[in-house]
Amino acid sequence: MPNKVKLPESLLRFIACRPGAILKKITSEASVRNFYRISRGSKTLVAMVYPEPCAAEVQRFQAVQKIYRAHGLRVPRIDVILDDQVVIQEDAGDLLLQRVWHAAGPGERLRLIGRCREILAALAAVPPVLATARLDRARLKWEMDFFLTHFFPRYSCRAIAKDDVRIGLYRLVEAIDAENKFAHRDFHSRNLLVLDKEIVMVDFQDSLVAPGYYDLVSLAFDSYLDLGMARGRLFPNLAACGHDRELQQVRLTALQRNIKALGTFAYQTHERRHPAYARYIPRTLHHIRGHLQVLGDPELEVLNKYFNALNKQ
């Protein structure tokens, strides 16, 4: 049992009432919450523990979980809410799609990507009115400012000014269609668990209304996993129909999402002291350069110059 984290009394009582139960911390790199696996015989549960009691956060988690399950979307079942700090859930295991993908053969990869497509369609079908937050342009610009605060100073280019990059980033945000679809918000391979050949979503509590292709591009251009040739299977109908404007929106949304990820990786690496995140920066930069090349938009030329200059340093 960890000695640096004071466990809530409610969790200690829960364990004490179950003789033989074993509590083991689950590694979680970025979350402010702590997770523990509770094992008792062959049965396991997961305790999600907030750093401090917060009724609003627990209620939000419960409300979003109900939305998912009401629409047939697989997320861990809530076993019991102990108080405003501890939620006991079904144990969905620890097999990340990120890890399963590397070990899977071609047939299994096709099955997994097909299942992801079905989940994406189901997410997009959830009525947007059920979400309580929106990823609007103001919030997208805040994410770009976060990138400028945490990534740009450490990966700067003498020939390109920060203010010029900000102008390019804001132009990018303005070019993305307004938010109109329910979205998981972080639909990527480290938030997708494979349990009994089914995909279970976690870290869903920040779901909101986002630009239409947000969840799609989060997985298609995942910083944690390169889908390679399988990427196109996430949106074959779109590509086959040749909807240039829609494909442009895919790339614009993906570009913003990947730039936002760079800000997060720099913050986690340098501010939160989680150096593991630095290893995802090169793949994300590769995605970004690809988006800019495909878009070929003169309005984004300053971004093209900046990100290509990083490749030469």
65-96: pLDDT as tens digits? 999 999 999 999 999 999 999 999 999 999 99
Q: How far apart are CA 192 and CA 84, in angstroms?
A: 26
Looking at domain 97-310, its CATH architecture is: Alpha-Beta Complex (3.90)
Q: What is the mean pLDDT of residues 142-162?
A: 95
Q: Sorting pLDDT into bands at 50, 70 and 90, what band is 1? A: very low
pLDDT band at 25 (very low <50, low <70, confident <90, very high): very high
Q: Give the per-residue pLDDT at 33.
A: 93
pLDDT at 3 > cutoff 50: no
At 308 the pLDDT is: 94
Classify domain 9-90 by CATH architecture.
2-Layer Sandwich (3.30)
Looking at the chain, which residues constitute the CATH 3.30.200.20 domain(s)? 9-90
Closest CA to 304 of 146, 164, 143: 164
What pLDDT does 295 receive? Answer: 96
For residue 298, pLDDT beyond 90: yes
Instruction: Give the chain's mean pLDDT.
Output: 94
In the chain, CATH 3.90.1200.10 sits at: 97-310
The arithmetic mean of pLDDT across residues 226-238, rounded, is 89
25, β-bridge pairs: 36
pLDDT, position 236: 77
State residue 2's pLDDT score: 40
Range with the poorest average pLDDT among 125-129, 221-225, 307-311 = 307-311
What would the mean pLDDT of 246-271 be, rounded to a whole number?
96
Greatest alpha-carbon pair distance for the chain in Å reads 66
